[in-house]
């Protein structure tokens, strides 16, 4: 599914987003729009120059991250798990049905994961980076997911949305739930919803 074009300007400054960014764990029961999901995904890993860099830096421009959106409440988008493809700014549905409660269970029962309209799951394919940088590449993947996660949190704040980074979860449960390919590891979960 091709996503709507993201916007490249807003009324909210970076400084205001930094000032107001908070970990938000409770969300209103209000759907996101496809445009809002598009904007969030662009902030995370959007391509900012054709054939070139993305919104978050990547060691050697190797881009080891994959981003999944666990959708529960998005207008005109059926519940399910979607993988983001930066090239083409599009989503590919990988699993049908609302999996937020299952993801919350994998996240040690953290209710915020099932209460957000969506939950973003960042995964890493370490070999994309370690192939060039050896074991130090593992550190680079972790740095990159931090950059991408902060982009998501700041973009959500600028849009008036709440988000919270979640690092406590069972790797095995998340891997099974999302049916991740071999060599792809879950790194971060960030639920997002209206405050």
Instruction: Judge whether 156 lies within some domain.
Output: yes
CATH code (residue 108): 3.40.109.10
pLDDT of the residue at 52: 80
Phi, then psi, of 181 in degrees rounded to 5: -65, 160
Instruction: Judge whether 42 lies within some domain.
Output: yes
pLDDT of the residue at 58: 97
Domain coverage including residue 66: 17-194
pTM over 0.85, yes/no: yes
Contact of 54 with 48, CB cutoff 8 Å: yes
Instruction: Judge whether 104 lies within some domain.
Output: yes
Those residues whose C-beta lies under 8 Å from the C-beta of residue 176, and which sit 6 or more positions away, are none
Instruction: Judge whether 4 lies within some domain.
Output: no
pLDDT of the residue at 109: 97
Q: Is 57 helix (H, G, I), strand (E, B) or coil?
A: coil
CA angle 88, 91, 92 (to 5 degrees): 115
Q: Helices 136-158 and 34-45 meet at what angle, rounded to 10?
A: 150
Instruction: Judge whether 138 lies within some domain.
Output: yes
Distance (Å, whole) CA 158 – CA 90:
22
pLDDT of the residue at 2: 95
Q: Going residue by residue through the chain (195 aa), what tens digit of pLDDT does each one get?
A: 999 999 999 999 999 999 999 999 999 999 999 999 999 999 999 999 887 899 999 999 999 999 999 999 999 999 999 999 999 999 999 999 999 999 999 999 999 999 999 999 999 999 999 999 999 999 999 999 999 999 999 999 999 999 999 999 999 999 999 999 999 999 999 999 999
Tokens of 164: 């919270």
Instruction: Judge whether 8 lies within some domain.
Output: no
Question: What total number of domains does the chain contain?
Answer: 1
pLDDT of the residue at 51: 76
Instruction: Judge whether 76 lies within some domain.
Output: yes
Instruction: Judge whether 1 lies within some domain.
Output: no
């Amino acid at each position: 599914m091709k996503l709507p074009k993201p916007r490249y300007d807003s009324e909210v400054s970076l400084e205001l987003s930094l000032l107001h960014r908070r970990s938000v764990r409770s969300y209103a029961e209000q759907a996101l729009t496809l445009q809002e999901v598009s904007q969030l995904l662009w902030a995370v890993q959007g391509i900012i120059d054709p054939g070139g860099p993305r919104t978050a830096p990547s060691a050697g421009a190797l881009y080891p991250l994959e981003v999944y959106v666990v959708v529960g409440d998005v207008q005109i988008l059926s519940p399910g798990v979607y993988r983001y493809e930066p090239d083409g700014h599009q989503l590919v549905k990988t699993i049908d049905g609302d999996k937020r409660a299952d993801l919350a269970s994998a996240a040690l029962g953290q209710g915020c994961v099932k209460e957000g309209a969506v939950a973003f799951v960042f995964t890493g394919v370490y070999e994309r980076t370690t192939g060039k940088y050896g074991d130090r590449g593992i550190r680079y993947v972790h740095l990159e997911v931090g950059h991408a996660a902060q982009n998501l949190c700041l973009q959500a704040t600028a849009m008036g949305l709440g988000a919270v980074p979640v690092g406590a979860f069972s790797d095995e449960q998340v891997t099974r739930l999302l049916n991740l390919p071999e060599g792809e590891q879950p790194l971060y979960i960030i639920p997002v919803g209206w405050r």
